[in-house]
Amino acid sequence: MAEFNLVVEEVLGYVFSEDGVYEPHEITFTVEEGRRVEIGDIVCIEHPSKPGTPVFYQVTEVPLRRKARDYEEDLARLGRPIIDSSRNYPRARARQIGYYEEIMEFSEIGEKEPLMLIEHIIPLTPVYRPKSTILETLLHPSAPSIELGEIYPSWKLTLKLELPKLLRQGLLVVGGVGTGKTTTMLSILVSLVREVLSRGGKPHILIVDKDGEYGVKELLDAVGFGEYYHVDVDEVRVESIRDKERYAREVLRRLGYYDRRSKAAKALYNTIMELEEEDLFPTPDFIASKIIPRIREHDVRGELLARASKWKAMEWGRVEEEKVSIGELVEKLKSKTIVHVDLSKCRNIDRAFRTLRELLARIYGEVLRDECFGCIIVVDEAHLYCPERGGIEISEGVRELKKTIELIATTGPRNGVTLFMATQRPSLISKTITTQLGQNIIAHKVEDVDLDRIREIMGPVATKIAVLPRGWALVKSLATKIRQPLIVRVRAVAKPASTGKTAYERFHSNIKSENTNIT
């Protein structure tokens, strides 16, 4: 018992079951008068057959039982309630975390997984609050890690994510508008870059940014001068396509032939199928010079040339050769720390999706070819790129991009490429994605069908997400030492560039600008 006293701080209550059934995986205990227990607290009992060994539990509910009297409701209705706290019985329910066999070896637990108690719980077993030093040891990762934030309710303990495990599985960050989702992802990226660089490594991160929110000073300062490359998605040149069928679909769509039964569409399709070139470029110049001249019918050639000229005028405002190619972008990713693909000024979203598909496929092929190259792919507003249902219309470009993202999510981590995804609509994302990345999920406040989807991943505890304040999140991760969900107040290391750019801030910005012009 003397050894056990080195682990615990105080008695909180005693295991007590109303129905007389005592299960080891979950305990209910009556809280001792004057003690305080909150959801998220880590408590412990002494192992029933291994004296001195604490078995850890996490509090999941804090109900209060009151022995009611028939007349109490009548008195309350009449406005004369009898306040008698002696009939209140505060209780707590807690789920098992596990135990380590030798408590004196706690400082050296390393990669050891906790064992689970599977024998009988003794009724009225004391429940203790562990000492903070023991909890710090319990939570401390054995591998390089980054700090996410403080753990509720004490705020004295810090939750850390082990980088090797995180990059072996991927990450999903969810949350409604304004809940802190993008701040969390940015903070993780900044912390990750700093940690890897501090250990002599060099990370490579591709950011697919729908709203242009990730190019913040904190991230640029973390990577250092010359290690950040920004490009608008419209400035990326799509390179050759070797699959003739896919090339034909792409060209017909670009030229506006959605019905292949027309004379011109048939002639173009047949000509493409007869081409001997291995590299086919989906550009109006290539079509006008390499494909259209092979068509015999003069009227068809004229129609196709007119459409190619219109396509070039609409989408090729710049000379195509001035744009960065996908191959060049992959090389920049291999040489720099951050490549930031910005979709905020995109003029053709379908073309952007096809560009992203080619880029991600090329990156995946490169990590398979080059065993020294690994990267993280960060995708913001992921429901737009790999929808399960609803969201945007699922066009051919979206379907192809979705397949590529699902391939990376399921097979990428073991081959050197890991997905970090953020979304405000988890209910709309492919279940293949959420199932794979749900091993490490940081959930800010969501509601309705999105909350239902998170409940499918995290279990009933996800209900608590609906009441979390901004910046708080429920974290369930295999990259932490404790696998039970924890409520965390995320430590904001960086904030998105969109902060301060709402209509309200712009109203005041306009007034300041007008006042400046007047003076």
Would you say 365 and 195 are in contact if contact means Cβ atoms under 8 Å apart? no
Q: Which residues of 442-459 are buried (b: 16+ CB within 10 A; e: fewer)?
A: bbbbbeeebbebbeebbe
Token pair in block for residue 14: 């005693």
Pairing of strands 440-443, 472-477: antiparallel
| Placement of tokens 């801030």 in the chain | 505
At 153-211, the pLDDT tens digits run 888 889 999 999 999 999 999 999 989 999 999 999 999 999 999 999 999 999 999 99
Query: DSSP class of residue 206?
Result: E
Confidence of residue 391 (pLDDT cuts 50, 70, 90): very low
Contact 72, 83 (CB under 8 A): no
The mean pLDDT of 106-118, rounded to a whole number, is: 73
Determine which of 65-69, 324-328, 498-502 has the lowest per-residue pLDDT on average. Answer: 498-502
The string of pLDDT tens digits covering residues 422-476 is: 999 998 888 888 888 989 999 999 988 999 999 888 888 888 888 999 999 999 9
Element containing residue 436 per DSSP (H, E): helix 431-437
Mean pLDDT of 398-406: 89
Q: Which of 413, 340, 349 is closest to 379 using CA atoms?
A: 340
Provide the pLDDT confidence category of residue 389 given band limits of 50, 70 and 90: low
Could you tell me the CA-to-CA distances from 326 to 238, 358, 385 in Å, in that order?
A: 6, 8, 19
The answer, yes or no, to whether residue 394 has pLDDT greater than 70, is no
The mean predicted confidence, pLDDT, of the chain is 86
Domain ranges of the chain: 2-139, 159-227+336-493, 244-315
Half-sphere exposure of 228 (CA within 13 A, CB side): 18
Cite the beta strand spans of 353-416 per DSSP E.
Answer: 375-379
Q: What is the pLDDT of residue 419?
A: 96
516 vs 255 pLDDT, higher one: 255
Per-residue confidence band for 241, with pLDDT thresholds at 50, 70 and 90: confident
In this structure, of 89-93, 398-402, 466-470, the range with the lowest mean pLDDT score is 398-402
Specify the CATH superfamily of domain 159-227+336-493.
Answer: P-loop containing nucleotide triphosphate hydrolases (3.40.50.300)
pLDDT confidence of residue 397: 73
> pLDDT tens digits for 332-360?
999 999 999 999 998 888 888 888 998 99
pLDDT tens track for 276-303: 776 687 888 888 888 889 888 888 888 8
pLDDT for 379 equals 95
Give mean pLDDT, residues 41-69: 89
Residues linked to residue 255 through DSSP beta bridges, in sequence order: none
Please give the model's pTM, rounded to 2 decimal places.
0.80
Q: Residue 272: which of 262, 280, 261, 260 has the closest Cα?
A: 280
Distance of alpha carbon 277 from alpha carbon 255, whole angstroms:
21
Cα atoms in the 13 Å half-sphere on the side-chain side of 28: 15
Pick the CATH number of 2-139 from 2.40.10.170, 3.40.190.290, 2.115.10.20, 3.40.50.980: 2.40.10.170
Judging by beta carbons within 10 Å of its beta carbon (0-12, 13-18, 19+), is residue 425 exposed, middle or buried? buried
Q: Which pLDDT score, from 0 to 100, does residue 318 have?
A: 47
